[in-house]
Amino acid sequence: MHIDHDSYGSVALAWIIGAVLIILFRLIIHSPWVFWLLSALILALVVWQTLFFRVPQRERAGSEHIVTAVADGRIVINEKVYEPEFLKRECIQVSIYMDFFDVHANFWPVDGVVTYYKYHPGKHFLAFKPKASEDNEHACTAIRTDGGKDMMFKQLAGFFARRIVCYSEPGMHTKAGEQCGIIKFGSRIDMFFPTDADIKVKVGDNVRACETVIALL
């Protein structure tokens, strides 16, 4: 495990704020047990904030035919939809909702080549709401596998999330299981598959990035 390199500033800021608060508590609180209780609470919050930006080591299960989860979380959508932005056809949408305690680093779901990427500024509705898919800040990445199959995933910012990091560039090669970005705080991943894909998850399932197989192409 290591800390996401795009999050060093956020982690440093959390530790600085924590240290300042503990110093202020030491100056204004005269009860030792109250001071130590509040200090322990601040330290726990700072450690949690640090772990939030962790990038875990995972066993790679994906390939050019096996699509794995982009992120940790819970399946909240599994249905047929029309994808209007790039694929422009009926697809199967599988969505993963991440809460505050899930790893928020994102990982390439399949081996292939990035054929499309676009960032969309937007609003910050609660990520599990259906309209969040179109109205919230999001970034879309489409990948074509070596076998010629197209799939797309969308990183959505949530109510508390205010930054999406994505490494996608058209033409770059992807390898399932390698980090492709991070979304800070509660958010969602929408994945779009061809209608003939064999979906291996259902609504309510908990999934792990890199390891849980979402679909077979």
Question: Which fold is adopted by the domain 66-216?
Answer: Glucose Permease (Domain IIA) (2.70.70)
CB atoms within 10 A of CB 130: 11
Per-residue pLDDT tens for 32-71? 999 999 999 999 988 877 877 778 888 899 999 999 999 9
Residue numbers annotated as active site: 187
CB atoms within 10 A of CB 45: 14
Q: 124 pLDDT exceeds 60?
A: no
Per-residue pLDDT tens for 69-83? 999 999 999 999 999
CB atoms within 10 A of CB 48: 12
Give me the torsion for CA of 171, 158, 43, 41, rounded to 10°. Answer: -170
* pLDDT class of 185 with cuts at 50, 70, 90: low
pLDDT score, position 7: 67
* pLDDT class of 106 with cuts at 50, 70, 90: very high
How is the chain split into domains, by residue range? Answer: 2-55, 66-216
**Structure tokens of 105?**
């680093």
Model pTM score: 0.83
Q: Name the β-bridge partners of 123.
A: 136
* pLDDT class of 2 with cuts at 50, 70, 90: confident
Q: Phi first, then psi: what are they for 131, rounded to 5°?
A: -70, -10
